[in-house]
Structure 1
């Protein structure tokens, strides 16, 4: 019995010692600050882990969407209605997904339509990326199978392209190796870079007195007729 009492007393002393150390630790400002930083780091890591777990699910949904878009590639349809830039197209086969690009056959320059809505009866409502003058009902349309893609990379530097990726600066075709869709998902939280960087404009006055941050917006203020175009 006496041995049990001694053991209980020792256990109580150890518990008091541990609690005393914890109190002393959090009473010390240095250790309190360290504990706060560790807690904050834990929350940040938890958020990044949650974002990393959500990323595979998002990528799976993206792959499923791409599979559906590719499945409708080459499907044939015909124009059934033209109201300005809004063109309705009816398909006999598989219906193209929303945001897919359609090309009107036998038209020069080429006319690209983007699927915006499913109307039922195998009919989709599209938005024309160019003028629809001369477009009539019954004209054949082909599903490209992908969203509208534009060239990307160093080959596009200094070039002027339209919304469908065709050059309009009369300098020949853009010899780009990579193409990217105009619609894309936002990058995951784990891939974002929150570091602030300066955008060098090459204008010494701007870079010295009013530097711009990368990824931000640039506002040019001035009255009518003031020469500001040299800053663009």
Structure 2
């Protein structure tokens, strides 16, 4: 009583036909709450790849000729039939958050690529970032958002975000040279870009409240305006004198300055 949650399960030991219908059944429930009860619905899917996988198994059982990488020939229409029902009406709305398994970490695989085409934003997790101990291990170059538009987020937010991506992309393109020849072979401008990119990487780590037990850092809420201001200061070179470690697991740029001072005292 009083619960606002409806759960629909399709476990991996069930027939593919049943699993292929789970996402559609859950969406029908969401549409009922939206259209009949006028609710704004939050629709979670974990994992949308299982919907594609079940569809591929059903397709094989029906004897259809598979398309790329063995997926069903109707992959695009199957995905569209699900995703395009997730929409707003004058009675209510459905907002969907979906976990997407990426086979072999290949973002061009037809299953995740077909899903991405329907989403307003994607947050891509990267193993290489997690291996550096940076959490959440979000890849700012592969992640996308249609809301990153100056008409939506404002001119300053947009320009700072794009400049952060440019610095990180330049650093990524220089990594082979650094690995083979070392930092000494870079131009002075490239050395500055690399130093700022490494600070940005560490500043992208976030001390979550839910991750306190793992990170050992207290959780912090940071307003978006402070985040934008902090990144602008880093890319403008205002904090090139701070050590890279000062930017790890902090909230605002002021926290990084305090951490740097603490490191200096401890040394």
Instruction: Judging by fraction of residues, say which structure has more helix.
Output: 2
Query: Scaled by the length of structure 2, what TM-score is found?
Result: 0.22
Name the larger-Rg structure: 1
Q: Which has the higher contact order (CA 8 A, sep 6+)?
A: 1
Instruction: Judging by fraction of residues, say which structure has more strand.
Output: 1
